[in-house]
Amino acid sequence: MTMILTGPNCNDLWEESQQTGSLVSYYDSSTIGWQGYIPHLGRVQEWIVSLKEGLKLRFYDYLPESDLQLSEHYGEGNWSTLSFFIAGDVSTMLKGVIDRVDERSGSTYLSSSPDTLEIEDWPAGEQLTRLQVAFAPSYFLNNFTPEQIASLPVEVRQAVEGEIEPYYYQGSITPAMRTAIHQILHCPYQGAMKQLYLEGKALELMTLQFGQFERSLSHRRKGVSLKTDDIDRIHQAKDILIQNKILIAA
């Protein structure tokens, strides 16, 4: 039997588990993490690292003990999320944005879901592992010139300008992405060096994903009418992320 859990239900289970000691939390200057057990959600490992303003990394690994349907209505917000599915398959629906879609191990998505209902089906006994790069365009891109902002994908550009619209795009994890993910999960540094390293790797993942979208559009442009400036903007968006990565590494 599938158990239906809303966002408040999950929060209650989370707090109860912390009170009983089955779930423990840990902190440092930039990271907050949790590890342990939560009823129905099962074994849990999760952490969030705050990087530069408007940029975060999130990792979570769950082993649900029940078949779950998780329902969450997101409030207003300007964050976009790039998610990498390392292990486990789920079925997802974003009301008014996408119908049911299978998010399988080895796939990715880029999305924003302000004021949107999300429903996910998690199967019992299947490990679910994700790495996410979250960025707020209005903060993360606030140092770009108007010309650079004009070169970004339309939904991100609208978010920078304050027009927040939900969207969802799927991709796939490439070998280069998998290498960057492994390096993030096995970061060899601490303190300030860890921050710089993870910022660079987060930007590398964003660059690789934009590059994949670019190639996908290039392959389809013979059958789809795309304006030349649309293709140019995708190239420019990738170049911006590459340059940002180089500056951080320096």
Tokens at 151, concatenated: 């070169």
User: What pLDDT, on a 0 to 100 scale, did the predictor assign at position 129?
Assistant: 97
Please tell me whether the overall predicted TM-score, pTM, comes out greater than 0.85 for this model: no
The label of the residue with tokens 């987060």 reads 202
Domains within the chain, CATH numbers bracketed: 3-249 (2.60.120.10)
User: What pLDDT, on a 0 to 100 scale, did the predictor assign at position 224?
Assistant: 47
137-187 per-position pLDDT tens digit? 877 777 777 776 665 667 777 777 777 788 888 899 999 999 999 999 999
Q: Where are the beta strands (DSSP E) in the chain?
A: 3-6, 23-27, 31-38, 42-50, 55-63, 68-73, 80-87, 90-94, 98-103, 107-112, 117-122, 128-135, 167-172
User: Which of 247, 152, 132 is closest to 200 using CA atoms?
Assistant: 247
Tokens at 118, concatenated: 């999300």
17-76 per-position pLDDT tens digit? 999 999 999 998 889 999 999 999 999 999 999 998 889 999 999 999 999 999 998 877
